[in-house]
Amino acid sequence: MPIAYLDVPSGLALDVKTRLVKEVAESIHDAYLIPDTRVFLREWLGEQTGIDGELARPMRPICNFVVPPGLSVEAKRQLVNQVSSTIAKACNLPREEVPLPSGKKVRTRWVLAFFSEYPLEQAALDDLMAFENPMVLESMELALQKQKRQPRRVAETDSLDAPRD
């Protein structure tokens, strides 16, 4: 039931795409524990993308998670860290240093992620609404128990961090 739509630059080799889909699906499944995790790649040519009003700049990947609600912020942070790292590696994205108005600098690989959370009343598999599907309900309960058992950690961010010396 969890889905990820990955917008990536065109031209990735088949083995890279295969690894990307596998690793993203595993990361999502580890977070949600719901079967039927789907990952869709949408490839974009340079002439089909623009950044800050400029056509054909190097494509900055986007990941849209379409998932049920209930994942903690810490679990989302961990998922985003894993998926962003996987996408950055697959697309061979360098870290860029970005100056802020304050004079500080952040480092990023420009992998953007969004969560679209759909209540179980707004999702179905075949003829079963998600809120009555035992496959979904049992998996979500297991994921919630897993979250409660995990100690809270300080997040290690892969995309926006202070420059390292």
pLDDT digits (tens, 9 = 90+) for 4-41: 999 999 999 999 999 999 999 999 999 999 999 999 99
Which pTM value belongs to this model? Answer: 0.85
pLDDT > 70 fraction of the chain, expressed in percent and rounded:
91
pLDDT value for 151: 67
pLDDT, residue 49, reads 94
- Asked if the model's pLDDT at residue 120 lies above 60, the reply is yes
What CA–CA distance (Å, rounded) separates 60 from 49?
9
Homologous superfamily of 3-149 in CATH?
Answer: Macrophage Migration Inhibitory Factor (3.30.429.10)
84 burial (CB, 10 Å; 0-12 / 13-18 / 19+) is buried
Q: pLDDT tens digits, residue range 41-84?
A: 999 999 999 999 999 999 999 999 999 999 999 999 999 999 99
The DSSP annotation for 68-90 comes to: -S---HHHHHHHHHHHHHHHHHH
pLDDT at 152: 60
Straight-line distance from the first to the last Cα atom of the chain, in angstroms, rounded to the nearest whole number: 42
**Model confidence at 123: pLDDT above 70:** yes
Closest listed residue to residue 46, CA positions, set 33, 37, 59, 35: 59
- In angstroms, the CA 80 to CA 158 distance is 9
Task: Name the residue with tokens 């598999």.
Answer: 125
Buried b (16+ CB within 10 A) or exposed e, 120-136: beebeeeeeebeebeeb
* CA–CA distance, 121 with 58 (Å, rounded to integer): 39
